[in-house]
Amino acid sequence: MLNKQELSDLILKWVPEATFSEGTQLMEVIVPADKILSLAEELKNNKETAFDYLISLTAVDFTTHMTVVYHLDSTKYRQLIVLKVVLTDRETPAIDSVTAVWATAEFHEREVFDLFGIRFNNHPNLQRLFLEDDYGYPLRKDFRDEINIIER
């Protein structure tokens, strides 16, 4: 099992643009959007990292930008890592799908698309999961449901 330093060196070798957040609960890597798929493949297929289990894939809307957050675990080493991708374009956010790497990503990505409106390139079936097609994207901070929303 790699320690934190070895793991970050390895990631920097694959993606030199990656940056690491300081003082976070879990190890956190911020990756450019066009490198996420190649990094995901490396992290999963490399024998020393073996991040074969995608715990959760979600997004956060920070009003100026959106962040897609990947929580990864390795069933071999039981090591956790968080990948983050910052999307500055809030109007038409798009990112590569990682369905080819982890099958569960297909449905987590559909959920993120449904609730945030982030498009995933090369997704096999990018349809809304919970809501109707003409509903807005409710987890965006500027979403307003005039009838049901409770303001605090």
Partner 1 sequence: MSEEIIKDVIVKENEDYIINMGPQHPSTHGVLRFEVCLKGETVKYIIPHIGYIHRGIEKMCEANTYQGIIHLTDRMDYLSAHINNEAVCLCVEEALQVEVPERVKYIRTILDELNRLASHQLWWCAFGMDLGALTAFFYGLRDRELILDIFEESFGSRLLHSFNTPGGFMHDVHPNFQKRTKEFITYFRKKLPEYDQLLTGNIIFQERAKGIGYMSAEKAISYGVTGPSARGSNVACDVRKIAPYSAYDKVEFNEILKTEGDTFARYQVRMGEMWESMKIIEQLIDNIPAGDYTAKMKPIIKLPVGEYFKRVESARGELAVYIVSDGNKTPYRMKFRSPNFSNLFIMNELTAGGKIADLVAISGSLDLVIPDIDR
Least distance (Å) between residue 130 CB and partner 1: 4
What span, in angstroms and rounded, lies between the C-alpha atoms of 73 and 71?
7
Q: How far is the CB of 115 from partner 1 (least distance, A)?
A: 8
Considering beta carbons, is residue 16 or 23 the nearer one to partner 1? 23
Q: Which is nearer to partner 1, 8 or 58 (CB)?
A: 58
User: Which CB atom, from 89 or from 130, has the smaller least distance to partner 1?
Assistant: 130
Please give the C-alpha separations between residue 145 and each of 9, 60, 114, 138, in angstroms, as whole numbers: 46, 19, 16, 8
Whether 57 and 70 have beta carbons less than 8 Å apart is answered as: yes
Smallest gap from residue 78 Cβ to partner 1 (A): 5
The single residue listed with the structure tokens 């038409």 is: 92
Pairing verdict, β 66-73 and 53-61: antiparallel
The CB-of-21 to partner 1 minimum distance in angstroms stands at 9
Nearer to partner 1, 2 or 27 (CB): 27
> Which residues lie across from 70 on neighbouring strands?
57, 83
* CA distances for 48 relative to 51, 80, 116, angstroms: 9, 14, 34
Judged by beta carbon, residue 43 or residue 115, the one nearer partner 1 is 115
Residues that bind partner 1 (CB under 8 A): 24-26, 52-56, 58, 60-61, 69, 71, 75, 78, 80, 82, 102-104, 106-107, 111, 115, 129-131, 138-139, 150, 152
Report the SS3 class of residue 102.
coil
For the bound state, the minimum distance from the C-beta of residue 121 to partner 1, rounded and expressed in Å, comes to: 20
